[in-house]
Amino acid sequence: MTTELLAPPTPTEVAVTVVTDMIHEEKTSTFDEKEFEKLCYQFALDKIVLESSKELAERSRDALQVFVDKYGYVPEDAEKTIRCQTRKYQASVTRPTSIEINDSRVEQFQRICRRGRIAALFPAIFTRNVYYTLTPGADKAIEDAKPSAKFKEAFHTLYALCFVPKPKSPSLTFVDFEAEKEKREAKEAEKKAKQEEKKAKQEEKRLAKKVGKASA
């Protein structure tokens, strides 16, 4: 039986193809700004009473997340994020992934390095404490590696198989623009009040000093 070998990974990223399920419905419906803002408003209210009504907030969060999944767009330079935005609100759903190292594959990769007469290269790629971790110079080591022709394909294939993509739970980022504006205005007002207070004290000292000189 012939085993299809994977192409070598690039220097800057792991050559693992991640195939994910389609999680978004086809966006054939029209984005409803009022419905979006209604969901955001409800979510903002429920966040206020989160401690006393955690379940309610989670339901409103889930509803908002479903809406963003259905009608959102992918922001520039954020390919794992879906976003909806109006003048009042912004909501983003992000589904990050992490890479786990497959210890058994790493050990197979180490054996290939030994058989390919480049055993000294392995510590430049992986280190092991309780489990294997990728070294900071792994990409460069892989790029510079020169395994024997007999083991070249197996070397790159097993290196790619050392990594396992692990999906993470989606996260929802929510921005209430009006609330943020109120916070900024309150902060600016507080800063201005402190400046006025400082100015008044300085003026008071100046007048007291002037009066003292006049009395003398």
Confidence grade of residue 27 (pLDDT, cut at 50, 70, 90): low
One DSSP character per residue, 140-192 reads HHHHH----GGGHHHHHHHHHHTEEEEE---EEEEEEHHHHHHHHHHHHHHHH
Residue 192 within any structural domain of the chain: no
Q: Render pLDDT for 67-95 as a digit per residue (tens, 0 to 9).
A: 999 999 999 888 889 999 998 889 999 98
Report the percent of the chain where pLDDT is more than 70: 81
pTM (2 decimals)?
0.40
Domain range enclosing 161: 98-167
Q: Render pLDDT for 103-130 as a digit per residue (tens, 0 to 9).
A: 888 989 999 999 988 988 999 998 877 6
Residue 106 within any structural domain of the chain: yes
With a cut of 50, say whether residue 9 has pLDDT above it: no
Residue 40 within any structural domain of the chain: no
Residue 9 within any structural domain of the chain: no
Q: Render pLDDT for 139-171 as a digit per residue (tens, 0 to 9).
A: 999 988 888 888 888 888 889 888 888 877 777
Residue 177 within any structural domain of the chain: no
How many separate domains does the chain show?
A: 1
The Cα 211–Cα 185 span in angstroms is 38
Residue 157 within any structural domain of the chain: yes
Contact at 8 Å (CB) between 56 and 46? yes
Residue 155 within any structural domain of the chain: yes
Residue 175 within any structural domain of the chain: no
Task: Determine the pLDDT at residue 59.
Answer: 83
